[in-house]
Amino acid sequence: PLSYPATAADYQILARRKLPRFLADYLDGGATEEQTLRANVSGWQDIALRQRVLIDVDNVDTRAQLAGQSCSMPVALAPLGLAGMMAQRGEAQAVRAANAAEVPFTLSTVGICPLDEVKAAANAPFWFQLYMIRDREYVDTLLKKAWNAGCQTLIFTIDLPLPGPRHRDTRNGLDSSGARSVALKAQQLLSRPGWLWQVAIKGKPLTFGNLSDAVPEASNLDSFKQWVDTQFDASVTWQAIEWLRERWPGKLILKGILEVDDAKAAVNVGADGIVVSNHGGRQLDGVAATASKLPDIVAAVGKDTEILVDGGIRNGVDVFRALALGANGVMVGRPWAWALAAEGQAGLTRLLNTWQQELKLAMTLTGVTRIADISAAHLDLPNTHKLTQAGEQQ
């Protein structure tokens, strides 16, 4: 049965009440005017479904495979920087919730809990996300650590040659130009949840996951953020995939593809999958919503590679919409961190269960019983965008 809180919107409100403003804004915010951030959400909402009746939908199955892993539904938790600050030992709680809901969890390079802590908390393989930081030896070590922690899927984020302009972060002093002011720090300290107070009072250091060894003064958020922001390597090209392939024996998924030509290039370099993504509207404001870019990419490369999509997906019906446009699955970002911030592991498990129920309901009322059978035929698309089946444009 459904109960309150359950939706991403419920959890966003509760998360904002609990988190210090700089963290809530870091999570919620996007680049520049946040137009793409909003467009991502409305891009899905604008797609109508076709209600069908008197079809045998007694046995609807939401199960699917993502990167060869069996899941209760084709939804994976996206990598989120600093996610582990949204709740105490946040990523460890999140991986337990993901395991309970049987969906893959992705640990970010700039997460808080280190790989071995997440491994100890997990009872299924999780995914690791990579930023190509300038120190390649460190990247090499990270890849080995991730593989040894049982990660079989690497999500390589390719749309962050440098951090996007996040004005909320600048307003809150969480940017690469300098530390938060003393007044701001005091205000933020007063609004900290209990466990962050503990950190402040007892001087127990925050750890910065897998980067702890690499970052000078890594117990300090300001210096961590400044160091990280200088580490993104804007000189990375497609050749880096070859370098990665030599070092990563598992599946390789490229995250941050928005154009057909880049999707084709990803297939050509042998990626096992792609994530159609604009980084949740956090990088180049003004690029199109992922929902509007997905169909052309599916048409161009859908048969050759696994396609995930993220950005603005807020419920199980949005998951259905993405699958109907030809995605093999979705990655969810902010909603999982909202649920984690609001209610920890239990909240995230509940959010994921709600999404599964919503996906099942969408399948039931559109008359489709298996994930693989969801197609554009279940959407009420405007004539100009009509698809005969997933990936084939008229």
Residues found near ligand HOC in the complex (CB under 6 A): 81-82, 110, 163, 224-225, 228, 279, 282
C-beta closer to ligand HOC: residue 211 or 324: 211
Nearest alpha carbon to residue 76 among 66, 89, 62: 66
Q: How far apart are CA 289 and CA 37, in angstroms?
A: 8
To ligand HOC, the closest distance from the beta carbon of 196 in angstroms equals 16
The dihedral sign for the CA sequence 344, 281, 294, 262: negative
Q: How far apart are CA 132 and CA 57, in angstroms?
A: 46
To ligand HOC, the closest distance from the beta carbon of 207 in angstroms equals 13
C-beta closer to ligand HOC: residue 22 or 320: 22
Q: What is the largest CA-CA distance in the chain?
A: 64
Q: How far apart are CA 190 and CA 196, in angstroms?
A: 10
To ligand HOC, the closest distance from the beta carbon of 72 in angstroms equals 26
Backbone angles phi, psi at 195, to 5 degrees: -70, -30
Beta strands in the chain (DSSP E): 48-49, 64-66, 69-71, 75-77, 106-107, 127-130, 153-157, 251-257, 273-276, 306-309, 329-332, 379-380, 387-389, 392-393
Query: Tokens in use for 49?
Result: 């479904």
378 catalytic per annotation: no
To ligand HOC, the closest distance from the beta carbon of 282 in angstroms equals 4
To ligand HOC, the closest distance from the beta carbon of 380 in angstroms equals 34
C-beta closer to ligand HOC: residue 76 or 82: 82
C-beta closer to ligand HOC: residue 279 or 293: 279
To ligand HOC, the closest distance from the beta carbon of 163 in angstroms equals 6
Q: How far apart are CA 297 and CA 391, in angstroms?
A: 8
Q: Which of 167, 279, 378, 385 is catalytic?
A: 279
C-beta closer to ligand HOC: residue 224 or 320: 224
Q: Which residue is nearest to ligand HOC (CB)?
A: 81
Q: How far apart are CA 207 and CA 221, in angstroms?
A: 9
C-beta closer to ligand HOC: residue 110 or 379: 110
Residue type, 250: G
To ligand HOC, the closest distance from the beta carbon of 316 in angstroms equals 25
Asked if 379 and 51 touch (Cβ cutoff 8 Å), the reply is: no
Please enumerate in sequence order all residues whose Cβ is within 8 A of that of 263, keeping only pairs 6 or more positions apart, or say none: 257, 274, 276, 297, 300, 301, 305
DSSP assignment of 317-347 equals HHHHHHHHTT-SEEEE-HHHHHHHHHHHHHH
C-beta closer to ligand HOC: residue 309 or 371: 309
**Which residues are catalytic, by number?**
279
